Amino acid sequence: MGASRRRRAAVLVAALVLITGCSTGAPEPPDVTCTTAPPGPVGAEEAAVCLYEGWVATDEALVDAYGAPGVTDALPVAVDDPQMRWGGCTGAGSETPDGVVCTWTGAFSDGPVTIELAATGTDADGYRVTAVTVVR
């Protein structure tokens, strides 16, 4: 292949990456602002995202704002940027069948891990993460 063809091929690949992005196909977590004093009732997704952010940052005040007391006690200490992906929320999970369950997944040296965050509440009153389960 000549230099000119290689350049055109490289440009085509770069254009495809730009158009399609570097997406892994995983959904993006909702764009929320996590504060220790939410201004109103929060949805299940917001509660799960903010609790996760609090866990990763070891910010107990943030965890307490979106979760029940002691809800993250079963989780290990988070490493900086654990590279987990948002899996979205469903009506029930494999280990925590009550309420709305939102997941974060990742692949680690000891295999794949899913963190299920069960949120209970109502749209009117807001949701809180009431149970966290690590599924290996």
pLDDT at 123: 87
pLDDT at 108: 79
Flag residues of the chain having pLDDT under 70.
1-26, 79-81, 92-98
pLDDT at 35: 97
pLDDT at 80: 63
Would you put residue 35 in left (φ > 0), alpha (ψ -120 to 50) or beta?
beta
pLDDT at 136: 86
Nearest to 87 by CA among 103, 63, 72: 103
pLDDT at 92: 52
